[in-house]
Structure 1
Amino acid sequence: MLIGVIRPTESQDLTAEGDSLAAIGDALRTQVPEGWQLTDSKVTMPKGSTMLTAVGRMARWGETREIQGADVAALEAQVPDGWALLSVRSTD
């Protein structure tokens, strides 16, 4: 018997505008719900504007689950959409 550890891979984009990098960082962080992490952001200043615009990405992190199967193929068949198989160990 094998035990696999899976975790979510879901991510989403966020947008924010502000007049400083600190304001944009705050605006992005306030949009991130519990159980998610802000992973990166790209800040631009549109031509002719003094406002900064950011596109950030958040991802679900930290949550893991264990699944069991007779072989790796059986484990992979149990991994739901939006999740990834991180590790496999034997119960022996």
Structure 2
Amino acid sequence: MFTGTIRPDETRTAELTGNSLEEIHAAAIAQLPAGFELVSAPVQMIKGSTALTATATFRRVDGIRQIEADDRAALFAKVPQGWQLLEVRSA
């Protein structure tokens, strides 16, 4: 018997603008959806300006569920589309 831990494989993005790294980070945290974490926000300078832009990427971290199957192949087959297998354990 195999047990797998799965969660939705969902990401969201947000375009940010600020005058400092601190402003960009604060703007990203302000737009952080419930159940998500900030995974990246690479910063670029705007040509001819002191302003910065960034595309923040958020990844879902909630919605974890358990699935079970008799063998590994069956367990992998049970992972729904749009979900990610995080862990496999055998009993």
TM over 0.5, shorter chain:
yes
> RMSD of the alignment, in Å?
1.6
Secondary structure at the aligned position of 1:80 is classed as: coil
Paired residue for 1:18? 18
**1:47 aligns to what SS in structure 2?**
coil
Gaps of 5+ in 1: none
How much does 1:62 deviate? 4.5
Q: Which secondary structure state, in structure 1, belongs to the residue aligned with residue 42 of structure 2? A: strand
The one-letter code of the counterpart of 2:54 is A
Aligned residue pair count? 91
Deviations 1:25-62 (A, max 9, x none): 11111111111000111111111112111111110125
Return 5+ residue gaps in structure 2 as ranges: none
The equivalent of 1:31 in structure 2 is 31
Identical-pair percentage:
45
**After the TM superposition, which parts of structure 1 deviate over 6 Å for at least 4 consecutive aligned residues?**
none
